[in-house]
Structure 1
């Protein structure tokens, strides 16, 4: 007879089986632990993506409001990346002052990314 003791299958002894062979001891695999680890990694990746998107948008706001040179490579790089990350928020409000427009529109987009990321992480963890 075999018996499961602490996740390990204990087999019959030499004399108990026909042919005198030994049964291998096999550990059972903890699928719940693996699933929890995968969900944790996925939640972390989603959180990092959302945080990086919000960071790029925030840096764009700081550079624009701070009066950074628009021809500088860093400023252009951040501006180029922030446009698609702003989704539909880049021209939501159209105040007279262009710096205020960037502050409001891209600031709202950054907050949006943080909120959506937080909700997505909670949903992912709920399934874990």
Structure 2
């Protein structure tokens, strides 16, 4: 049986730790992408408010419905007289929230993946 010099454990256990670390790192990348995609959809929704679009278009309907779902508790946070300004403030804040949550969660998962794999951030 081969022994890993760094930990003194069996080489198979080191391989399993590295595989689990890789899976956690892939999960971190996925979480980061989901957060950025949610922010991008919210930003596209903001842009749609300022250009003339066909509200009956399937793509526009999908973006508006999905943005209304992921805007979460930010929808009526600011209520200025111009509804477009409210949309920019509320949906923009929600976009920043989703980017921050995605990046923080991905960073935590990435650190966990490195720790499980037996490596350190350098």
TM-score normalised by length of structure 2? 0.78
The residue aligned with 2:51 is: 66
| Deviation, structure 1 residue 84 | 1.1
Backbone CA RMSD of aligned residues = 2.0
Higher relative contact order (CA 8 A, sep 6+): 2
Q: Relative to total residues, which structure has the larger helix share, 1 or 2?
A: 2
| Deviation, structure 1 residue 6 | 7.3
TM superposition outliers: structure 1 runs of 4+ over 6 Å: none
Higher Rg of the two aligned structures: 1
Is the contact made by 2:3 and 2:11 (CA closer than 8 Å) also made in structure 1? no
TM-score normalised by length of structure 1? 0.74
Q: Distance in 2 between matches of 1:80 and 1:73?
A: 10
1:35 lines up with 2:17 in the alignment: no
Unaligned ranges ≥5, structure 2: 114-122
Unaligned ranges ≥5, structure 1: 8-26
Is the contact made by 1:69 and 1:75 (CA closer than 8 Å) also made in structure 2? yes
| Deviation, structure 1 residue 112 | 0.5
| Deviation, structure 1 residue 5 | 6.9
